[in-house]
Structure 1
Amino acid sequence: MNINKRYIVDEHGNPKEVVILLEDYRKIEELLGLDLDDEAVKQLREARKDRESGNKDAYVDLDSI
């Protein structure tokens, strides 16, 4: 992924802020899962608990979807 960015620097040339295209920001949001709604986050947490506890009944066989 290539991110076009512009640095905003202070009077000493130290980077203080970065400006990126909105399209790139949205891609980053999606990659990090920041675009998920509360229900999706809840389902992912439940799936993690099922996986960690070994609850195989909570999963669907791939052939059935």
Structure 2
Amino acid sequence: MEIHKKVVVDDAGTPQEVIIPWAEFQELEELLGLDIEPEVAEQLADAKRDRESGEASAYVSLNDL
């Protein structure tokens, strides 16, 4: 992925901000998972905890699908 950016600098030439195209920002948000609703993020965190703790009752058997 290539990011097309414009760097905004202060009077001393120190970078202060970066401007990127909206489409690239949205792609970055999606890649980083920042576009997920808080409720979905909590469900994913719960599923991760269940998986790590071996909580088998939290899962549905493939035969039940």
Give the residue type in structure 1 aligned to 2:59.
Y
Q: Percent identity?
A: 46
Query: Counterparts of 1:1-65 in structure 2 under 5 Å?
Result: 1-60=1-60
Unaligned ranges ≥5, structure 2: none
Which aligned runs of 4 or more in structure 1 are off by greater than 3 angstroms? Answer: 59-65
CA distance in 2, matches of 1:63, 1:2: 44
Give the C-alpha shift of residue 61 in structure 1: 5.7
Q: CA RMSD, aligned part only? A: 2.0
Equivalenced residues, count: 65
Q: Residues 11 and 48 from structure 1, CA distance in 2 versus in 1: closer, same or farther, beyond 3 angstroms?
A: same
Q: How far has the Cα of 1:62 moved from its partner?
A: 6.5
Q: TM-score, normalised by structure 2?
A: 0.81
Runs of 5+ consecutive residues of structure 1 not aligned to the other structure: none
* Letter matched to residue 19 of structure 1: I
Alpha-carbon distance in 1 for matches of 2:63, 2:2:
36
